[in-house]
Amino acid sequence: MLVRTRTHYPFSFGDIGNALYGSWMRSAVLFSITISQIGFVCAYMIFVAENLKSVAEQVFDIRIDLYIYIMLQILIYVPLAMIRRISKLSFTALIADVFIMFGLLYLYYFDINQLVKEGVSDIAAFNPDDFALFIGTAVFTFEGIGLIIPITESMKEPEKFPKVLTGVMIFISVLFTSIGALSYATFGSNIKTVVIINLPSDDPLVQTVQLLYALAILLSIPLQLFPAIRIMEQGLFVKSGKNDLYVKWQKNIFRILTVIACALIAWGGASDLDKFVSLIGSFACVPLCFIYPPLFHYKVARTFGAKMLDIFVLTFGVFSLFYTTHVTIRKWGGE
């Protein structure tokens, strides 16, 4: 829907909203992108901390609180947050992808091997208590709509993008579903929020997987933080810091404070990573996926069927936003 709308309004995500509905819509889109990106960063900081804690306990017998691992990450992210060009972060993202693929392949191997040896664990077909968390988590997992327009713009043949997007979505859907189903079948009711923690932690290969996966997420966090910092800087600073040292240092301090704020939020959500992820997915990612695109597309849709589809997706998005956010907050508060 977003790509089709862009053929009529060749702008960025926020600027399409501005052209169709006014400045308030642009602000809403940018707010959702910022909250979702900061949410990704915080969730990933918790993930990295849990993996590093597991490796440190098993390999070095170092037992310290989780929040210390979260705070130590500030020392790495502050220098990386000073990078002004996103292209400079592409190399770290490529290394991260290699490490992630290694971790996923090992997880496939372990799960299938265990299922062959031990059989299926104690599993339930449906979880009536927490299924709403699944909706928020699934939206969080697939969220990347903020990158749709930049990728389309950078393609040599942008008209092929819908076909590329469809292929990618099918591939990652199979990847996410198979890893989730196999791991749940393997570990059953004992499964952890971070499934790598379920692997036998005294195995050197598992420790390597945990360390590489933690490094992978560590390297990809600056890429997630970049859009949020840029959007907030454009809203807070009028002048560029390129030729003004005072403004540049104001921006540097702001970036440092943003990293520290992310670490503090991660510390607060560390005990309930599943609910934290679901909350970000419900509150920030659902509007980006299921509310803004159909609202935009409705304005350019030509047929009755296309308009009805926009209304259906929009209705689903509004329901998901309020219902899943409410359930996640209630469950978090109840505990």
Q: In terms of pLDDT, which residue wins out, 230 or 179?
A: 179
The pLDDT assigned to 307 comes to 93
- CA–CA distance, 200 with 67 (Å, rounded to integer): 23
Whether 89 shows a pLDDT value over 70: the answer reads no
- The two three-digit tokens of residue 122, written as one number: 């104690």
Alpha helices in the chain (DSSP H): 2-8, 13-21, 23-59, 66-72, 74-81, 90-118, 131-142, 148-154, 161-187, 204-236, 245-269, 273-280, 286, 292-300, 304-334
What is the 8-class DSSP label of residue 105?
A: H
For residue 220, give its domain range. 1-333
pTM of the predicted model as reported, rounded to 2 decimal places:
0.79
Whether 312 shows a pLDDT value over 90: the answer reads yes
Q: Using 50, 70 and 90 to split pLDDT, how confident is the model at 277?
A: confident
What is the 8-class DSSP label of residue 288?
A: I
Q: How far is CA 245 from CA 75, 81, 86, in A?
A: 23, 17, 21
Q: Are 279 and 132 in contact (CB under 8 A)?
A: no
Whether 294 shows a pLDDT value over 90: the answer reads yes
Amino acid in the structure at residue 289: C
Q: Using 50, 70 and 90 to split pLDDT, how confident is the model at 225?
A: confident
Quote the number of domains for the chain.
Answer: 1
